[in-house]
Each structure stands twice: as structure tokens, then as C-alpha cells.
Structure 1
Amino acid sequence: MSPTTETLTAERILEATEEVLRRHGPAKATVVDVARALGVSHGSVYRHFRTKAALREAVTQRWLDRTSGALSAIVAQDRDPEARLREWLSALFEAKRHKAGDDPELFATFSVLTGENSRVVDQHIEDLTAQLTEILRDGAVRGAFTPALDPVVTARAVFHATGRFHDPAYAGEWGRPGIEAEFEAVVDLLLRGLRAAGRSGA
């Protein structure tokens, strides 16, 4: 076994896979391409990921987890829930816009891969709505949001209501003039509906 193979890790393979996908696209990228980029045999890659589908699923999950991981820091903050909710929705929008605008080839590639890996996408959405649920539940406890809300149901509603600003299907609109003002208008409307009676806007 060569030194290169000895130090081969799943993370290194996923990094190389992302670069191969960027260069070749999802239709042409192969496990052999990934192995070549790492200087190892394709068998070494298969020891970490048993199939090409498993590798593509793992790299898709890694890409999506970057977003949910960054947002989790906002959820953990101990401050006004309304401000946290606004920041969380803004951060989600910005994260998706950066992915689409900074690296459009890779964004297009992962749009294809997420279509192949519905289980991973469903889990990603569950993770995001769980984060929203935590903020909404905390807001109800603190008296920032109406105590009548069901945090789980409301989290799903907020996520779907803001879909235009994070669903990749709308990526073509994210660079359009005025999109930020439209986003703020939607968030303002949602927050007015969530506020507890007698609470003014933050």
C-alpha cells in the first residue's frame, strides 16, 4: 500500500469528487476520474464508498450540510427570537445566492445531484425546518411570538412561504434588481403574523 493510499480519507475523496464534478459535470464524472485526481486506484475509492451512487449521495450531503451547519450557529444564539428568525432567513437566502452566483457550474451540477438523491434532500429540509422549529418554539416561550402557534407546523409554513428565496428552482431570479426588497417584504409579513399580541416590531 502506498503512502498516498494510507492517508486516503472519505473527506479527501469528497473534496476531489467535488472538483471532478466541477470540471466534468455530473454526466461525465466517474470514480476513475476521482481516483486519478487523488493518485490512487479506483478500488481505493470504493473501499470508502461502495458504489458510484453512494459517492454522489455523500458529496451531495456534504454540499447541503455546509448550509445547515452555518445556520445552526444562529439558532444557538441567546437573543431575541424575532431577530434570530430574520437573520436565519437572511442567511439562508445569502448562502443559496452565493452558491448559485459564485460557482454556477458547481451549483448546476448539484442541482442535478439533488434531483438524484431525494432522500438526502428530504433530510436537509428536515434539518432546516427543525432549526426553524427551535427558534419559533423559543419565541413562543419568551412571549415574542403568539403562544397559539404550533412550532412544527409553523416552521414548515415559514419554510415554504420563503421558498422563492432558497429553492434552487428560483435561482434565476436571485440576482434580479429589487429581490432584496421583495425578500424583506415577505419576512416582514411573516413576522407580523407571528408576533404575540401587543408586541411591536423589532
Structure 2
Amino acid sequence: MAPTSDVLTADRILEATEEVLRRHGPAKATVVDVARALGVSHGSVYRHFRTKTALREAVAQRWLDRTHQGLAGIVADGDLAPAERLRTWCRALFETKRRRSVDDPELFATFGVLAEENSAIVDRHVADLTGQLTEIVRAGVAGGGFRPSLDPEATAAALLDATSRFHAPYHAREWQRPGTGERLETLLDLLVAGLRAS
């Protein structure tokens, strides 16, 4: 039995949109396809999401939220010294993105399309990641393990830029190459050495 618009929720629309994106890809998926999958009119979908862009951004945000659930836990892990917390966080971001690019390529491609369009969702994503790194750097400065002269926010932004090859969608093709993990470790060694207090 097809669902009716009176039981249609934003979550159900997002679930259906993910499936449509997986089936058709970001270039060919339409709101009509989503409505058809739900058994409703496309107007019913537009009552929840005003534009196709808004719908795609909501799907990407939901995907990012699920993808990066564990990162906040690493930031809050007081049992790890800040230098090790930074390493663990960067490794987790890389491994999660690499795994998603292989296991969920259509939704990963959708995020890539949004990144190319310079969407607000990407800006929020970068701000969230920078905020998490800021907390790690702040803990390192406060604990004496990192140089006291560091500006945590500026340092976090620089760290995110420096590691972009291991998490930015346009580098996804490189992530499966042999030695990529080792290159990340080498970079982390250099970054941590630069952050440490003398």
C-alpha cells in the first residue's frame, strides 16, 4: 500500500531520496523519482523541501551526520593525550571518508557535487570539523603538550587545510592507492612535531 501524504515526514522523504540517489546518481535523480518511490505527488515532497537543492542538502547533511558520528567522541576522549587525539581524529576522518567513497559511492558523489557548487552544507561541515580540531588544539595548549603561542582556531584551520588530501571529496580517487595511509602518518608526524612545546 502506497503511503499517503498525511503520514509523509521529512525523514521518510530523506530515506527515499537516499535510495533514489543510489539508484540514479546525483545527476539523474529527480524530485519526481522521490515522489514516485513514496507513492505521493511531487508537490507533497515540495511541502517539506522547497527546492531540489534543499532536498539534496538535507540528504547530504544527514549523510555527513551519520558519517562523522564518532569524531566528536574522539575529541571528548580525555584518556588520549591531545597529540594522540589529533592523530586518532585525522585517521578516523580519513578512514570514514575512504570507506564511504567505496561503500556508498552515489551519496559520496552527491556530497562531491555539493562541494563543487560551494554549498552552505559544505561550509557548515568544514566549520564543524574545524571546531572539533580547535578543541583538540586548545586541550593541547592548556595541557602544555602544544606550544602556548598557538592560536587554537587558526591552527585548527591550518591542520584541516594541511590534511585536505585525506578527506576532501575531490581527492577520493587517490585514497585507494597503495601507500596513502603511510603518507597520512608521515604528515601527522610532521604536524604533531610542529605543534609540540619545546
Same fold (TM over 0.5): yes
Question: Separation in 2 of the partners of 1:46 and 1:98?
Answer: 32
Question: Separation in 1 of the partners of 2:3 and 2:176?
Answer: 46
How many residue pairs get aligned? The number is 196
CA distance 1:93–1:77, shift in 2 (3 Å): same
Question: Separation in 2 of the partners of 1:20 and 1:40?
Answer: 14
What secondary structure sits across from 1:174 in the alignment?
helix
Q: Which residue of 2 aligns with 1:162?
A: 163
| Aligned residue type for 1:8 | L
Q: Which residue of 2 aligns with 1:53?
A: 53
Aligned residues of 2:71 and 2:89 also touching (Cα < 8 A):
yes
Question: Separation in 1 of the partners of 2:168 and 2:37?
Answer: 32
| Aligned residue type for 1:169 | Y
Question: Separation in 1 of the partners of 2:167 and 2:40?
Answer: 38
| Aligned residue type for 1:35 | A
Deviations 1:51-91 (A, max 9, x none): 22211221122222233433111111112111111110000
CA distance 1:57–1:105, shift in 2 (3 Å): closer
User: Over the residues paired in the alignment, what is the CA RMSD in angstroms?
Assistant: 1.6
Question: Separation in 1 of the partners of 2:3 and 2:52?
Answer: 24
Question: Separation in 1 of the partners of 2:126 and 2:68?
Answer: 9
Deviations 1:72-124 (A, max 9, x none): 11111112111111110000000110111212233223312332352110111
Deviations 1:4-24 (A, max 9, x none): 433321111111111111111
What TM-score, normalized to structure 2? 0.92
| Aligned residue type for 1:92 | L
Deviations 1:155-185 (A, max 9, x none): 0111111111111111111111111111100
Aligned residues of 2:26 and 2:109 also touching (Cα < 8 A):
no
Question: Separation in 2 of the partners of 1:107 and 1:140?
Answer: 35
Q: Which residue of 1 aligns with 2:124?
A: 123
- Please state how far the C-alpha of 1:147 moved relative to its aligned partner: 1.0
Matched ranges for 1:132-147 at <5 A: 132-147=133-148
Q: Which runs of 5+ in 1 are unaligned?
A: 198-202
Q: Which residue of 1 aligns with 2:78?
A: 78
Question: Separation in 1 of the partners of 2:101 and 2:184?
Answer: 17
| Aligned residue type for 1:26 | P
Aligned residues of 1:26 and 1:113 also touching (Cα < 8 A):
no
Runs of 4+ in 1 over 6 A off after TM superposition: none
Deviations 1:134-162 (A, max 9, x none): 11001110111111111011001111111
Q: Which runs of 5+ in 2 are unaligned?
A: none
Q: Which residue of 2 aligns with 1:181?
A: 182
Question: Separation in 2 of the partners of 1:194 and 1:113?
Answer: 33
- Please state how far the C-alpha of 1:3 moved relative to its aligned partner: 6.1
Q: Which residue of 2 aligns with 1:23?
A: 23
